[in-house]
Structures are given as structure tokens and as C-alpha cells.
């Protein structure tokens, strides 16, 4: 079986679906608003590699390109196509947009998070694009960037110990998005939460492309301190994929979150922190006033 529905995956082994997918499945099971979708399991990657005769070895600089050039086996392709069709049907629409995100078991480790090291493809709108995005996620596992990060973090890069799932989720065309920390990640003050937010999709904030608005919330008093960011641009969905767009002067000069939204995000972040039993950081998106959680993980080194 090469796919599993996200909201049914909370008891799946970590090695089968990866850390990102497992955490979101658990959040979904606790009533947290997580966009629906499915996971392409690590068995699909194993089948893909064996089908194409690809050998695994650290330091092989050509392996990433060979993954991109290889073909997806018919049995994997068929099951992914069925899962995608069922997701479309569940939405009651003729077409949908999804986000395709790597979900490796070697993520959110205590000694290293691997945040941003693997591939994410946004606004995928058809099956060929989905299958190509699937290969791009797999290929990122073999990238020089990931191997270099592992070396820098003094982690033994052994691909057989790092199985990867791929998460396919309904795309949230966010009006505002960002990240929230249940403790201040700079001062390590666990009595203070921090939210960074800007317009459009969260990649602008996560990738450091914009100076976001910053909100500090005192957990005891509930007081909010705000700092206005420049919010120079935003990333938005195109017909396929994403594009960068300028923010207006009016958008730059006002805070992108209301005080009510800041308090709701703070409550959601504390709820997730209680579930984990440890400080967490989350990625969120807001569309038509509703908050969606796109990722949740313990705060690591």
C-alpha cells in the first residue's frame, strides 16, 4: 500500500510516513484544523528506487538528477492517482490545488531540525504536476544541501536509515500566514510566545524573504507587544505554482493580524504545546478568518 489518508495516519509508524505527516495526523486527531490530504508512504520511494535500479550511496552527486529523470512505477502512479481523485471528489469540485511536501523520518531531531532542507512544492493543480512534485521531494533527500547539513550537524548520512514519506495536502490560499513559537526562540523565555506573520503564503516568512510583523504575548497577563514589519512582498498562487507580488503601501503600514487573531493563535499554540508537553513552533495560514495549522514540531536546535 503506497498511500494513506492523512486523518487516518495517526498510528502509522514514523518510518512509513515521516515526522511532518505523523505530527499533522496527530494534530488532526485532536481536533486541530489541519488541511486534509494523503501521504505517499516510504514504500513508494523504495519501489521507485528498485524499479529504476538506483543504488544508494552517500556522496553520489549524480543521484539527485537520476531520481528526477527516472519514471514512477505504474503501481505507484496508479495508487497516487486514485488517492488524488478521491481527494478531489471529497471536496466536491472538478479540480483542486494541493501542496506537496517532503516528510522524512529524519526531521525534527533533537540535535537538528532539517527545517527547509527538503522540498516543498505549492499550488500543484494536476496529476502530472503532482507526480513530478513527488519526484522532486524524493530527489531532495539525495541533495548536496541535505548531505551538507547532515555533515555540519555531525549526523551520519545513511539513506537506509532515513525513509521518506511525501505529504499531499489541500492548498490553503492564505490571506495571512506565518510562524508561532510557544516560547521565545531567541531569549528562551518560556513565559512569552512569539508570532511572526505577513501577507500571502507562509514561504515568504519561513524563507526570510520579508520582514514580518512580530507579536510577543505574555502567557500570564495576556498582554501583547507588537512590532510593525515592512512586509515588502508576498507570495501568492498563480495558475500553476506561485509568484511574488508587491504589497501595497496600505498593507505595509498596518498590522496583518487583528488582536483577536493574535489571541486565537496564542490559544492554539498553547493547546499544541500542551499536546506535545514541550515548547513547539507551528506554521499557520489564515483564510476567510479561519486558522489552519500547516506544521507543528518541537522547538529543536
Q: May I ask the CATH class of domain 176-298?
A: alpha beta
3-170 falls under which CATH superfamily?
ATP-grasp fold, A domain (3.30.1490.20)
Work out the average pLDDT over 87-105.
Answer: 91
pLDDT in tens, 144-158: 565 655 555 555 555
Which of these ranges, 22-26, 65-69, 254-258, has the smallest mean pLDDT? Answer: 65-69
* 118 — pLDDT class (breaks 50, 70, 90): confident
Domain 3-170 and domain 176-298 have a common topology? no
- pLDDT tens-digit map of 211-227: 999 999 999 999 999 99
Query: What's this model's pTM, rounded to 2 decimal places?
Result: 0.88
Q: What is the average pLDDT across 280-298?
A: 94
Distance CA 244, CA 47 (A): 37
Task: Give the CA distances from residue 183 to residues 14, 217, 219, in Å, rounded to whole numbers and listed in that order.
Answer: 26, 10, 9
Output the pLDDT for position 74: 97
Q: Where are the domains of the chain?
A: 3-170, 176-298
Distances (CA, A) of 176 to 8, 33, 99, 229: 28, 16, 17, 13
Measured N-to-C along each axis, helices 127-140 and 74-91 cross at an angle, to the nearest 10 degrees, of: 120
Cβ neighbours around 13 below 10 Å, total: 11
Q: Per-residue pLDDT tens for 14-35?
A: 999 998 999 999 999 888 999 9
Amino acid at each position: 500500500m503506497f498511500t494513506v489518508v492523512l486523518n487516518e495516519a495517526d498510528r502509522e509508524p514514523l518510518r512509513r510516513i515521516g515526522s511532518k505527516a505523523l505530527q499533522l495526523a496527530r494534530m488532526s486527531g485532536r481536533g486541530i484544523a489541519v488541511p486534509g490530504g494523503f501521504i505517499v508512504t516510504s514504500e513508494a520511494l523504495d519501489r521507485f528506487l528498485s524499479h529504476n535500479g538506483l543504488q544508494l550511496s552517500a556522496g553520489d552527486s549524480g543521484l539527485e538528477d537520476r531520481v528526477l529523470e527516472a519514471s514512477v512505477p505504474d503501481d505507484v502512479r496508479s495508487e497516487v492517482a486514485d488517492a488524488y481523485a478521491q481527494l478531489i471528489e471529497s471536496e466536491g469540485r472538478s479540480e483542486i490545488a494541493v501542496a506537496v511536501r517532503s516528510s522524512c523520518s529524519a526531521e525534527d531531531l533533537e540535535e537538528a531540525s532539517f527545517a527547509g532542507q527538503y522540498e516543498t512544492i505549492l499550488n500543484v493543480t494536476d496529476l502530472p504536476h503532482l507526480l513530478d512534485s513527488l519526484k522532486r521531494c524524493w530527489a531532495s533527500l539525495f541533495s548536496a544541501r541535505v548531505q551538507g547539513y547532515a555533515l555540519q550537524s555531525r549526523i551520519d548520512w545513511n539513506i537506509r536509515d532515513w525513509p521518506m514519506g511525501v505529504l499531499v495536502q489541500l492548498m490553503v490560499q492564505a490571506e495571512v500566514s506565518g510562524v508561532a513559537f510557544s516560547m521565545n526562540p531567541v531569549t528562551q523565555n518560556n513565559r512569552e510566545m512569539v508570532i511572526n506573520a505577513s501577507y500571502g503564503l507562509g514561504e515568504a516568512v519561513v524563507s526570510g524573504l520579508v520582514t514580518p510583523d512580530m507579536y510577543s504575548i505574555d502567557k500570564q497577563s495576556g498582554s501583547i507587544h507588537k512590532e510593525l514589519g515592512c512586509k515588502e512582498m508576498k507570495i501568492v498562487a498563480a495558475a500553476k505554482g506561485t509568484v511574488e507580488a508587491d504589497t501595497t503601501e496600505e498593507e505595509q503600514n498596518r498590522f496583518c493580524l487583528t488582536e483577536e487573531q493574535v489571541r486565537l493563535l496564542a490559544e492554539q499554540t498553547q493547546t499544541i504545546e500542551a499536546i506535545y508537553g514541550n515548547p513547539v513552533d507551528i506554521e499557520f495560514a489564515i483564510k476567510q478568518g479561519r486558522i489552519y495549522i500547516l506544521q507543528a514540531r518541537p522547538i529543536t536546535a
